Chain A
Amino acid sequence: MISYIIRRSLLAIPMLLLVSLIAFFILTLPPGDYMTSYQNQLTSQAGLTTAEAEEMANEMRQKYGLDKPFLVQYYNWIKNIVTKGDFGYSFFYSKSVSAVIWSRMGYTLLIAGLCHFISVFAGVFIGIFSATHKYSFADYTFTVLAFLGVSIPAFFLALFMMYIFSFELGMGVGGLFSDEYIMAPWSIAKVWDLIKHLWLPVIIVGFAGTARNMRVMRSNLLDVLGLQYIQTAKAKGLKNKTVIYKHAVKNAIKPIVMSMGSALPFLITGEMITSIVLDLPTTGPAFYNALVNQDMYLAGSFLMMIAVILVIGNLLADIALAWVDPRVRYN
C-alpha cells in the first residue's frame, strides 16, 4: 500500500508539470498582456499620451520579463516556484501571488470544507432515508429537490438568494464580515459574525453537492439491497436496521467515498461562482479578476494549486476506499 501511494505520488509530478505548462500557455493566449490594459489605464485615467503610456508599459514589460518568449517566462516561473517558493507577482493586486492566494485560500478551504462535510453527511443520510422509504411522500419530495439541486445554475441560486434575503427579508448579505469586523482582530464576536455570514454561501454551494450525493446514495443502496448477501443477513435473524446499516450501507457508500477525492475541487469551483456573486474574500473572485486582466502568474498558480489539491484528494480517496473495501487492499 505504501509503495502504491509513493508510486502514484511520483507519477503525479510530471503530470502536474505538464498541467502547469498547459495552464500557463492558455493564459498567455489572449492577445496582449497585462501591460496592454495597464497602458490603457495610463492613457484613460492618468492622462498620459499614447506614446508616453506605451513607453511606460514597455518599461514595465521589460522589468517583469513579459517581453521574453513564452517558454523562457514559463521556465523562470517554475524555477522560482521550485527553488524559492515564489509564485510570481500579481499585477492586479500589486502583491506577490503567494500573498494574494494565502490570505484568501483559508476562507476558500473553510467554505469548501464545510460544504463538503455537510453535503456528504446530509446527502448520505437523506439518501438512506429515501431508499428505505421508497415511493413515500418524503422520498418524492427529496427526489424533486435533488433534481432541483442539479438543475439550478449556481450563480443564479446565489443571485436569487441574495435578492430574497436582501429585499424580501431585509437581511444584509454579501461579504464574510460586517464592516466593523473586517479589520478587527479575531475574537468570539468576530467568529460569530463570520458564522452569520457563512451560512448562506455554505447552503448555496452545498445544495448541489447534497443533491448529488443523495441521488447516488439512494440508487446505490437500492442496488445493494437487492443483492444476495442481504438476504443471507436477513436469514440469520438480524434486525432490519442492522441489515441496512451494518451490511448494506457499508457497501453502498463506496462510490461516495471514491468520489470524495474529486469532490473537493468540485466544491472549490462551486464556491468560486458563489463567492464572485456574493463578493467574498476568497480565491474565486481573485481568479476571476486575474483572468479578466491577464494577471497570468496569479491565474496560473491558482490552476496549479487546484490540480495539486485534486491529486491529493484522489490519493486520499484511494486510501479511504482501500480502508472500506478489503478487495482493493489485497490487489
Chain B
Amino acid sequence: MKKEEAKERKKYLSNKEKIWRRYKKHKLGMIGGTIVILLLILSIFAPFFSPYDYRKPDYEGAYMPPQPLNFIDEEGDFSITPFTYGVEQGMDPETWARTFEINPDQKYRLQFFVEGWEYELFGIFESNIHLFGVEEGGTFHLFGTDKLGRDILSRIIFGSRISIFIAFFGSLLSAVVGSLIGGISGYFSGKVDLLIQRVIEMFQLFPQLPLMMALSAAIPTTWPPILIFIGIVVVLSLIQWTFLAREIRAIVLSYREQEFVKAAQALGANHLYTILKHVIPNCFSHIIVVMTLTIPRLILAESTLSYLGLGIQPPMVSWGVLLQEASNIQTIGQHPWIMIPGAFIFFTVLSINFFGDGVRDALDPKSN
C-alpha cells in the first residue's frame, strides 16, 4: 500500500532524475563512481601525475624499496612539508646483495608542480610539469623501483591507460558485435536465427580462459605494440559478446511480435524504423548494465593474459605486464613491493564493481 503512494509521488519526477536519485542513494556505488572518475583522470593525464619517466631505466637504483613520506625527522622535529630521506647504496659484505641505506642528514622536501622529465600530452601539448616531486638531488619512489630501476608508481599510472582502455574497448566491441548479431537474429528469425543460436551455443561450449589463452597465443609477439593491443581487444571481445547477443535478441523478438501485426499494413521500411525507434532506447540500459559487468572482467582477463606472457608485450605497459616480474617466489620474497600493481588491479576492479552495482540498481531497482 505504501509502495503505491510512493510510486504516485515518483511519477512527477522525470525518468532521468529518478535514475540519478536512486544512484545517489547507493553509497558504495557513489564511492566506486568517484574512484573510477579519479582513476580515469589519473590515466588520461598520466605523464602529469607520474614523477618519473616510466620507460627510463636506472640500473643503479634497481629494486629500491618504497620510500615513505616523512613528517617527523630523526630528532622529532615536525615539518609541515613532508620529505624523503636521501638513499645511499651499499653492499652487504656477506651476501653481496645490494642494500639501500637511509641517510637521515639528507632531506628532500616534497614540492608540487615541479619540473621534471619532458612529455607530450595527446600528441599536442608539450610540458615538463608534474604534479609532485622532491627537491633536486633527492628521490621519491613511493612504491619503490623494479629490476631496471624504473619507478613503479609511474609505471602503474601509465599501465592504467592500457589496462583500463583495453578493457573498455574490448567491452564496447563485444557490446556492439553482440547487439548487432543479437538484433539480426531476433529481427530475421527463422533459419538465420537458428543458425546464430547454434553459433552462440557453440561459443559458450568453449571454456573462457583456455580459449582466451589459445587465441592470444596466436598473436605473434613480433607484431608492433599497437597491433597487439588491437589483437587483444578483439580476443577479449570474442569471449564476451554472447551475453548481450542473447539479451538483445530477446528484446528485439518481443518488439517484433508487437509490430508484426501493424507491419501487415505498413511499408517494410516503416516496420524496421519503428522497431529501431523502440528497441534502441530500451537496449541502452541493458548495454550499460552488461558493460559494467564485462569491463572489470576484462581487466582481470587482460592482466592474467599479460602476466602469463600471452597478452600485452613489453615495452608496452599494463598492470599484468608489470606483474610479470613477480613470477618468481624468490624475487617476490626479496622485493615484495613489485606486487603492488596487483593491489591496483584489485582496487580498480572493486571500485568498478561497486560503481556498476550502483548503476544497475539505479537503472533497474530490485529488492536488494
Contacts and interface: CB of A to CB of B under 8 A. Distances in A.
A and B in contact, CB less than 8 Å: yes
Interface residues of A, number: 50
A26 interface: yes
A152 B213 CA distance: 19
A292 interface: yes
A269 B215 contact: no
A155 B345 CA distance: 11
A57 B304 CA distance: 33
A167 interface: yes
Interface string A89-108: 00000000000000000000
Interface string A151-173: 11111100110110011000000
B201 interface: yes
A19 B353 contact: no
Contacts of B327: 277
A156 B339 contact: yes
B237 to A, nearest CB: 16
A156 B206 contact: no
A287 interface: yes
Contacts of B349: 150-153
Interface residues of B, number: 43
A288 interface: yes
B350 A288 contact: no
Nearest to B348: A151
B214 interface: yes
Interface string A179-223: 000000000000000000000000000000000000000010011
A148 interface: yes
B214 A152 contact: no
Contact of B342 (A30, A159, A299): A159
A298 B3 CA distance: 60
Interface stretch (A80-88, A229-237, A300-308): A300-308
Contacts of B272: none
Contact of A287 (B201, B208, B210): B210
B160 to A, nearest CB: 15
Interface of B: 198, 201-202, 205-211, 213-215, 217-220, 296, 300, 303-304, 307-310, 323, 326-327, 329, 332-333, 336, 339, 342, 345-346, 349-350, 353-354, 366-368
Given A150-B349, A167-B336, 20 more contacts: A18-B202, A19-B205, A23-B206, A150-B296, A151-B350, A155-B307, A155-B323, A156-B346, A159-B323, A163-B329, A167-B333, A269-B210, A273-B209, A277-B327, A291-B214, A292-B309, A292-B310, A306-B210, A307-B207, A310-B205
